[in-house]
Amino acid sequence: MVRKKRVLSDQTNLQESKKIKHPEALQELYRLQPSFNGKQPNSSGSSLASILRTTEQIPYWKVNNSASIVEVTSLVKTNITSKKEFFGVGIREIVNGIGITFFGKECKVEKNLTIRWHDNLISYDMNVFEKSVKKIDGIETGIAIERNLFEINKTVEFVSKAKLCPGQITKDFEQVVKLRGINLVNNQKNSNNIHEVFATLENQGQSNEAYRRIDCDLLINKINICQNCQKLKDTLTKIRNRNLTGTLSTTL
């Protein structure tokens, strides 16, 4: 009987010893072999032993945060069927991506957003009336990085709600149009000995006739004109005033 109790006591002590040493053993394993079959550890993560000691689930290995084509396609289709601002929006599949088309008056293509996948990286391309947009709500186009579903949804919704910059309307600047014509150019020549065009006239002779800067943002939200085209008002005022005083040039 005494021998039996001693055996049971030894087994109990052995189990308790294993429980105590279990995290330390894993910690030592991690120190000796950190690669774990080639997977890269998250440098900002906690040690494996500390993860085992907590009840909270913490992602240890690096994960792919980019949304998939299937997820984004499903998201856009859901928006089309459930949100009024997406009424009439078209979606099409392209090679390694999708195209989202927003129509304006008379069913003319107004905004065209293309989302492309480069493996797990995602880039945007944006055109407004066939003019390339460099930034969408502060996000540069043409750059492929990881993008999650939340960011993509935010970008798509911004495009759907964004208005088009009208440019600087030429009302009260009719003399400037007669004087300078379709193109506004810099007075100083560039390295190629050319006066560079910095703004062009659109909708000539119509009520919405306007000069638009070459670097116009095209898409605007909560404002009536983009910051770059707004600068044109001062330029047109200078040209008009110089013309009134008989001087036909202005420093831009």
Domain boundary among 106, 127, 161: 161
**127 and 191 inside one domain:** no
Is-contact 136 155, C-beta < 8 A? yes
At 31, give phi and psi (nearest 5°). -65, -40
Q: What pLDDT does residue 85 have?
A: 87
**Cα(164)–Cα(129) distance, integer angstroms:** 10
**Cα(33)–Cα(48) distance, integer angstroms:** 12
Task: Measure Cα distances from 115 to 68, 143, 151, 179, 195 in Å.
Answer: 11, 11, 12, 43, 36
**129 and 90 inside one domain:** yes
CA 201 to chain centre: 29
**Cα(231)–Cα(11) distance, integer angstroms:** 84
**184 and 222 inside one domain:** yes
The answer to whether residue 196 sits within a structural domain is yes
Q: What pLDDT does residue 191 have?
A: 87
Q: pLDDT for 210-248, tens place per residue?
A: 999 999 999 998 899 999 999 999 999 999 998 877 654
Closest CA to 195 of 182, 206, 186: 186
**75 and 143 inside one domain:** yes
- Residues in the chain predicted with pLDDT less than 70, given as ranges, are 1-64, 246-252
List CB contacts of 112: < 8 A, sequence separation 6 or more.
99, 100, 101, 102, 126, 127, 128
Q: Please state at what angle helix 149-161 crosses helix 69-82, rounded to 10 degrees.
A: 40
Q: How many domains does the chain have?
A: 3
- Long-range CB contacts for residues 44-49, cutoff 8 Å, separation at least 24: 49/23, 49/24
Indicate the pairing of strand 109-118 with strand 121-128: antiparallel
The answer to whether residue 58 sits within a structural domain is no
Instruction: Count the helices and strands in the chain (H runs, E runs).
Output: 7, 13
Which of helix, strand or coil describes residue 18? Answer: helix
For 18, the domain range is 2-52
The answer to whether residue 252 sits within a structural domain is no
